[in-house]
């Protein structure tokens, strides 16, 4: 290999290694909650045994608070639109809430809000998602409760 080609390859490799932020992406999106709840994956994976109420929505009377918890879910976004990847992350967080509610003996999760990087973003209509080139993430915080009958 001649000297010029070796120098060119070395410089190319160094510029690639030295500039990883060129390839980084962290796009914040606000996605409709209803789009996530209406998705095929939500209809398949959420069994209806646990009720979900987002911050600002009317909710039934609470008989007993149990615990506040967070679900921080990441999903592969490669080959998906940002919205599709965000919906996967959102539904994954709700699946985790559903599983945790069963473990705790709760029948609902109330006051659900986006909690990305521990920043509260309450909304009755949208959730926050951060999408990158390879991964999308959704973090939700909610209160596990027993509802009054």
Residue with more model confidence, 55 or 13: 55
Query: Could you tell me the CATH number of the domain that includes residue 106?
Result: 3.30.110
In-domain check, residue 8: no
In-domain check, residue 113: yes
pLDDT for residue 73 is more than 90? yes
In-domain check, residue 92: yes
State pLDDT tens for residues 78-132.
899 999 999 999 999 999 999 999 999 999 999 999 999 999 999 999 999 999 9
In-domain check, residue 70: yes
In-domain check, residue 15: no
Domain hosting residue 112, numbered range: 25-147
- Other C-beta atoms closer than 10 Å to the C-beta of 134 total 13
d(C-alpha 59, C-alpha 131), whole Å: 30
Grade residue 137 by pLDDT with cuts at 50, 70 and 90.
very high
Asked whether the whole model's pTM tops 0.85, one would answer: no
CA 2 to chain centre: 51
In-domain check, residue 116: yes
In-domain check, residue 19: no
Tell me the three state secondary structure of residue 16.
helix
Angle ∠(116,118,123) on CA atoms, nearest 5: 60
In-domain check, residue 9: no
Question: Taking Cα atoms as reference points, which of 24, 38, 34 lies closest to residue 131?
Answer: 24
As for how many domains the chain has, the answer is 1
State pLDDT tens for residues 20-38.
444 589 999 999 999 999 9
Q: Which pLDDT value is given to residue 4?
A: 57
């Amino acid at each position: 290999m001649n000297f010029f080609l070796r120098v060119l390859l070395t410089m190319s490799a160094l510029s690639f290694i030295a500039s990883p932020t060129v390839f980084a992406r962290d796009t914040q999106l606000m996605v409709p909650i209803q789009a996530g709840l209406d998705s095929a994956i939500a209809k398949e994976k959420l069994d209806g045994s646990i009720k979900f109420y987002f911050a600002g929505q009317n909710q039934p009377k609470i008989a007993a608070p149990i615990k506040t918890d967070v679900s921080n879910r990441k999903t592969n976004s490669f080959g998906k639109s940002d919205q599709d990847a965000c919906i996967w992350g959102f539904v994954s967080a709700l699946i985790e809430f559903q599983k945790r509610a069963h473990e705790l003996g709760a029948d609902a999760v109330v006051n659900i809000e986006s909690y990305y990087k521990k920043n509260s973003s309450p909304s009755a209509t949208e959730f926050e998602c951060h999408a990158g080139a390879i991964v999308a993430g959704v973090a939700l915080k909610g209160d596990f409760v027993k509802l009054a009958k």
